[in-house]
Amino acid sequence: MKKSELKKLIKEVYKSQKLNEDDERFDKADKAIHKVEDEWHYPILKKYGFEPKTKTGVGFVRKYIYVHPKTEHEIELSTGINADYWTDGEDRGYWNDLEPHLKKLSKNK
């Protein structure tokens, strides 16, 4: 085998291994466990009296459910890669719509 062919083969093997390593890192990241307390919505919902039913989420896109102990009102949030939105059966919105909605709910109690 010529030296140039060997170099080419080594590069191909290295590239193949690198792609496999990237796939492994991706898979590992998509299995990561995220505590609800570390999510952006946790302090906002706690401020308005909601408690998380879902304590952890897994992967890039996660779903959490919160409930208000007095009103039993539930809010479901999805968060992660381009997925920061919520719904409660009455309304829905993106991350910046959540606190105004909670203010509205607290006035209607």
The one-letter amino acid at 4 = S
- State the average pLDDT over residues 13-29: 71
Q: 10-28 as b/e, with b when 16 or more CB fall inside 10 Å?
A: eeeeeeeeeeeeeeeeeee
- State the average pLDDT over residues 51-72: 94
Element containing residue 40 per DSSP (H, E): none
* pTM (predicted TM-score): 0.75
CA atoms of 29 and 96, how far apart (whole Å): 26
Residue with tokens 């990241």: 29
Residue that wins the pLDDT comparison between 13 and 88: 88
Looking at residue 10, its pLDDT comes to 62
